[in-house]
Copies of this chain bind each other. A is one copy, B any other.
Amino acid sequence: MSRVLVVDDDPQLLRALRITLRAAGHEVVVAPDGATALREAAASHPDVVVLDLGLPDLDGTEVLAGLRPWFTGPVLVLTARTASADAVAALDAGADDYVTKPFDMDELLARLRAVLRRRSTETTAPVVVTDHFTVDLAARQVTVDGVPVRLTPTEWALLSELVRAPGRLVGQRQLLQSVWGPAYETETNYLRVYLAQLRRKLEPDPAHPRYLHTEPGMGYRFRP
């Protein structure tokens, strides 16, 4: 079903988790400490990480910090500590959920299902491709028919906001807010000007847009 990386220093608990998760149809990878966890995460690309906060070498939040820059899947934190301050810190550090020990195995499985269900619909596509152009969100580069095209900062901000939601309509208020700031929510003419420039640079026929559609009165939509 999914590959789960379990990080815990208690061999007995590790064994119990491995058996239970296997029985639930998951593939299980284990790590007894933080350093191994980071290495295993990079090597085995798990779908979800179950992370104990109390580790021998690193603090759990440190592992989380090491994971988060590149690991986009959900992280479920496990902790024996009763102080909820730790949980707060973990959640704010990027954890998706946490369970305090001792915990019920069914509850852990349910929370795991919940976080996996949430993530299952997410898109993890750093590069968007169409028949005529490609947008590499990570490299900040756009190519039309294979040749790179220069975009101004504003054009790029607008385009990335649109391609990040392929097929979805993005309201003009949202576009204005994320590109120009909350104070410009009514300056819809900005959108008209820059959408025209983007179409000129990207669309095969700017007069009849094929990818950057406008929905009158509502916003714009990128259709791949």
Chain A residues at the B interface, C-beta cutoff of 8 Å: 84-85, 87-88, 91-92, 95-97, 103-104, 106-107, 109-111, 113-114, 118, 121-125, 138-141, 150, 152-153, 156, 165, 167-169, 215-219, 221
Assuming the A-B contacts A114-B95, A139-B168, A152-B217, are A107 and B87 also in contact, with contact meaning beta carbons closer than 8 angstroms in the complex?
yes
Q: What is the oligomeric copy number?
A: 2
Query: Contact at A107–B125, with CB atoms within 8 Å?
Result: no
Chain B residues near A215 (CB-CB < 8 A) = 140, 150
Query: Contact at A114–B96, with CB atoms within 8 Å?
Result: yes
**How far is it, in angstroms, between the C-alpha of A88 and the C-alpha of B111 when the chains are bound?**
8
Q: Which 4 A-B pairs have the closest CB atoms?
A: A140-B169, A153-B217, A88-B110, A84-B107
Chain B residues near A168 (CB-CB < 8 A) = 123, 138-141
Query: Contact at B121–A125, with CB atoms within 8 Å?
Result: yes
Which of B111, B140, B165, B169 is A218 in contact with, Cβ under 8 Å? B140
Which of B88, B118, B125 is A118 in contact with, Cβ under 8 Å? B118
